[in-house]
Amino acid sequence: MTTLPEPAPRPAANAANTGLVRSVLRSPRGAIVVAFLVVLILACALAPLIAPYDPLAQHLSAVRSGPSGSYWLGTDSLGRDLLSRLLHGGRSSLLGVLEAVVTLLIVALPTGLLAGYLGGTFDRIAMRVAEVVMSVPVVIILLAVLSIFNHSMTSAMIAFGVLGSSGLMRVIRGAALTAREELYVTAAELMGLSRLQVVVRHVLPRCRGAIIIQASLFAAVTLGVQTGLTFLSLGPPPPAATWGGMVADAASVFNQDAWMLVPPGATIALTVLAFGLLGDVVRDVSAEKYAAAPASRRKRRTGTPETAGRPEPATDMLLSVRDLSVATDGERPLTLLDAVGFDIAAGETVGLVGESGSGKTMTARAVIGLLPGNCRITSGRVVFDGSPVQDLDQRAFRKLRGRRIAMISQEPMAALDPSFRIGSLVAEVVRAVDGIKGKAAHARAIELLRMVEIPDPEAVARRFPHQISGGMAQRVAIAMAIAGRPELLIADEPTTALDVTVQAEILDLLRSLQQQNNMAILLVTHDWGVVADVCTKVVVMYAGQVVETAPAGEVFDRPAHPYTRSLLLSSPENTHVGERIQAIPGSVPTPQRWPAGCRFASRCDLAQPGCTEGAIPVKDISEGRLSRCLRVDTLLGGEARR
Ligand SMILES: Nc1ncnc2c1ncn2[C@@H]1O[C@H](COP(=O)(O)OP(=O)(O)OP(=O)(O)O)[C@@H](O)[C@H]1O
């Protein structure tokens, strides 16, 4: 069994995992604000028990008495105790705030999350409705509601919550859009979790900060609006105790007794301030947390067309990709993959090689049905175990993903949601793919961690992702990927982010898992060493096309495409100490700049005029060998035949 280096501590990521509530309470401002709000809410809730007087009782012998031992905050013009009225008035004021905030969350939360996560038509409709709601004059609507519902403050607060929801909905949508790009959200989808599970477990927690901030600011505004309405006598009629009503009473005698305004005015101001400050504290704490979280955004790039291909999909293959083309959406679609084709047999490891921007990741994502939102398959077929899968809807694809086809990425740490313990993350996938729950799911999670050779899996299951090393994180990602016993594992540069020793360990692990389970692997890599180590076949991609397919054992000695040859020569393994690496001059053309004819011609020393005249056909060189090169005979020394 291989041993793993101890994880290096990552203080920054540590902060990302401390609970939001705990972080707020740890900050002095947060603690003061929360303490104030808790005391206020408790005092108002317990008003019937703790208020010294009946809020309506008039003590005509002590009218406008000012603070005293009997009346701590004094009395009003009718001799009513101000403290008792404040406590009782707070009940209706805070209840009104609660009603408005709950309504706000009920409307904005699901709509914003779904609009951001699902996008498409739902998003467009939700955004249009939000715009309409935002343009509605709030005060007029509130006055109308109050007059229709007989001055019912509850109706007014519910209406205010609905009207305010469009702002929060947009904020949540934005946060969900960002969360959707997180690798751990993609990883959860790859593991076969349903949309609801992904939203609730992974997207919602990411939006939590934004939600609390907006809700507390909204609470502050609501309190202001509600006080204004009761001040104008649009709420519960006198003599009911309301904060706004107390301000109105005090305002009418302000010239004779200014003190009467102080208790209600200070309470309202402090409460509005506390709600506002709470939002600020949560914003600061969230900013620290997200700055500390691992950078895991998926790179998005902007990226034109041509063709060639091979006949029918091979039916005896586990995976058969034929003439697969992918393009961006929009008025001027841009082709990113052009008639890509290859096969993978059961239990085979195929290396997908090429420089950055060749289309390797796009190919892998097309196979697993998770193309970026702005891209779609425009032609071709992906046949998995005899069945075409390219037209499957997301629901049907989810049944395949995680169970029959799984994927691991080059950023294992970013693929693990920092808010959950390792055991919980693995058990979540087990629940999704095996349908087992509770202790059984946990036991299977431990078994999987043991299968990927993690020493002391029980202890590791209790750790958070930031508490383990990159190599161990990749093992955890592999454990999650093999939970559904997939027949095909797509590994997108699984060792790129790891140091050399750990790389070798992970490759050994993949090889042994593959042998134990007869699992096929599509290994996306830049590294010829990795190809030599684990692959049986290699598919070389360049500028969105497959330019060569060869058995791994042959390609090193007899590359059948000048690009493959250049890639091999530029590989560090082929460079002796003290020699300069023979870098390939130029760079891979972006999809906007794909030339007519051979896309590698401008960088190729064998290129001749014919190479740039038209689409280059794929040539069958020998059993299992294909090349998209007109000069392949010259390259192979005249050995190649049609
Ligand atoms: N969402 C997208 N929208 C438009 N173009 C994209 C998008 N994603 C990738 N591309 C473009 O598609 C081409 C292929 O990208 P892909 O990520 O598949 O390359 P790759 O070979 O995997 O590179 P790397 O090794 O750097 O990951 C690139 O030109 C890239 O800029």
Question: Residues with beta carbon inside 6 Å of ligand 1?
Answer: 300-303, 328, 336, 354, 356-362, 372, 374-375, 590-591
Do 174 and 305 lie in a common domain? no
CA of 445 to the centre of ligand 1 (A): 34
To test the pocket of ligand 1, the residue of 180, 181, 298, 301 to mutate (highest count of ligand atoms within 8 Å of its CB) is: 301
**pLDDT (tens digit per residue) in 143-170:** 899 889 888 899 999 999 999 998 888 8
Do 427 and 443 lie in a common domain? yes
The overall average pLDDT reported for the chain is: 84
To test the pocket of ligand 1, the residue of 180, 302, 336 to mutate (highest count of ligand atoms within 8 Å of its CB) is: 336
Cα 215 from Cα 127, distance rounded (Å): 20
Q: What's the gap between Cα 308 and its chain centre?
A: 37
Residue 559, CB-side half-sphere exposure with 13 Å CA sphere: 16
Strand ranges (E), 545-589 = 545-551
CA of 451 to the centre of ligand 1 (A): 33
> Which residue's CA is minimally distant from atom 8 of ligand 1?
301
Q: What is the pLDDT of residue 32?
A: 93
Q: Which domain holds residue 197?
A: 13-292
Do 471 and 613 lie in a common domain? no
| Among 485, 520, 544, residue at a domain's last position | 485
CA of 362 to the centre of ligand 1 (A): 6
- Looking at ligand 1, which atom is closest to the CA of residue 362? 18
**Does residue 398 lie within any of the structural domains?**
no
- Looking at ligand 1, which atom is closest to the CA of residue 588? 29
**pLDDT (tens digit per residue) in 309-345:** 444 555 568 999 999 999 998 888 899 999 999 999 9
- Looking at ligand 1, which atom is closest to the CA of residue 526? 25
> Which residue's CA is minimally distant from atom 4 of ligand 1?
302
CA of 236 to the centre of ligand 1 (A): 62
Is the per-residue pLDDT at 580 higher than 70?
A: no
Q: What is the pLDDT of residue 302?
A: 33
- Looking at ligand 1, which atom is closest to the CA of residue 303? 5
Do 340 and 418 lie in a common domain? no
Do 449 and 532 lie in a common domain? no
Average pLDDT of 264-288?
A: 85
- Looking at ligand 1, which atom is closest to the CA of residue 358? 21
Do 496 and 473 lie in a common domain? no
CB 329 within 8 A of CB 376: yes
CA of 340 to the centre of ligand 1 (A): 14
Q: Supply the pTM of this predicted model.
A: 0.62
**Does residue 43 lie within any of the structural domains?**
yes
To test the pocket of ligand 1, the residue of 332, 361, 542 to mutate (highest count of ligand atoms within 8 Å of its CB) is: 361
Do 478 and 497 lie in a common domain? no
What band does 85 get if pLDDT is binned at 50, 70 and 90? very high
Do 507 and 545 lie in a common domain? yes
**pLDDT (tens digit per residue) in 37-75:** 999 999 999 999 999 999 999 988 888 888 998 999 999
ipTM rounded to 2 decimals: 0.97
CA of 301 to the centre of ligand 1 (A): 6
Do 41 and 75 lie in a common domain? yes
CA of 442 to the centre of ligand 1 (A): 37
CB 157 within 8 A of CB 96: yes
**Does residue 39 lie within any of the structural domains?**
yes
- Looking at ligand 1, which atom is closest to the CA of residue 336? 12
Number of domains in the chain: 3
466 burial via Cβ count (<10 Å: 0-12, 13-18, 19+): buried
> Which residue's CA is minimally distant from atom 17 of ligand 1?
361
**Does residue 476 lie within any of the structural domains?**
yes
CA of 363 to the centre of ligand 1 (A): 9
**Does residue 1 lie within any of the structural domains?**
no
- Looking at ligand 1, which atom is closest to the CA of residue 541? 21
**pLDDT (tens digit per residue) in 479-512:** 998 888 889 999 988 887 677 778 888 888 888 8
**pLDDT (tens digit per residue) in 509-559:** 888 888 888 899 999 988 888 888 889 999 999 999 999 999 988 888 889
Contacts of 408 (CB under 8 A, 6+ apart): 415, 474, 477, 478, 481, 489, 490, 491, 492, 494
Tokens of 366: 């097309």
Cα 157 from Cα 155, distance rounded (Å): 5
Here the CATH number for the domain that contains residue 601 is 3.40.50.300
> Which residue's CA is minimally distant from atom 12 of ligand 1?
336
Average pLDDT of 8-24?
A: 53
Do 494 and 527 lie in a common domain? yes
| Among 465, 485, 505, residue at a domain's last position | 485
Here the CATH number for the domain that contains residue 171 is 1.10.3720.10
**pLDDT (tens digit per residue) in 189-211:** 777 677 777 778 777 877 777 78
Run of H or E residues at 462:
none
Query: Sheet of 520-525: strands edge to edge?
Result: 405-408, 488-492, 520-525, 349-353, 537-542, 545-551, 625-627, 619-622
Say what angle helices 243-252 and 82-118 make with each other, to 10 degrees.
130
Do 500 and 624 lie in a common domain? yes
**Does residue 335 lie within any of the structural domains?**
yes
Cα 12 from Cα 2, distance rounded (Å): 28
**Does residue 381 lie within any of the structural domains?**
yes
What band does 299 get if pLDDT is binned at 50, 70 and 90? very low
Do 145 and 244 lie in a common domain? yes
Between residues 628 and 133, which one has the greater pLDDT?
A: 628
**Does residue 7 lie within any of the structural domains?**
no
The two beta strands, 349-353 and 619-622, are unpaired
